[in-house]
Amino acid sequence: MSATVTTKGQVTIPKQVREFLGIVPGTKVDFRRGADGTIVLTRADDKRPASRFARLRGQAGGGLDTDAIMALTRGEE
């Protein structure tokens, strides 16, 4: 991924990076220099964003209980 620096020295953080780090408006970030000279972007608060699985947890909503599902698979009504 790449981004272009504006005349004011600003860069838009790519959406995939923002989503991965959980960066939303108002989130503070740190720039650190790695041992190999690379620059690493991290969240300043060290919070880890919810995993993609955690974000989906509880999204199925209310539905059938186990007995009802088993009855459907057996063709019972």
Residue 45: CB partners within 8 Å, gap ≥ 6?
27, 28
Identify whether the C-beta of residue 26 lies closer than 8 Å to the C-beta of residue 54.
no
- pTM of the complete model: 0.55
User: What domains can be seen in the chain, in order of their start residue?
Assistant: 1-59 (2.10.260.10)
* CA angle at 58 for the pair 63 and 44, rounded to the nearest 5°: 170
Strand partners, 75: none
The model's pLDDT over 48-72, given as tens digits with 9 standing for 90+, comes to 766 667 666 765 566 778 888 888 8
The model's pLDDT over 8-53, given as tens digits with 9 standing for 90+, comes to 999 999 999 998 888 899 999 999 998 999 999 988 987 776 666 7
- Residue 45's identity, in one-letter code, is D
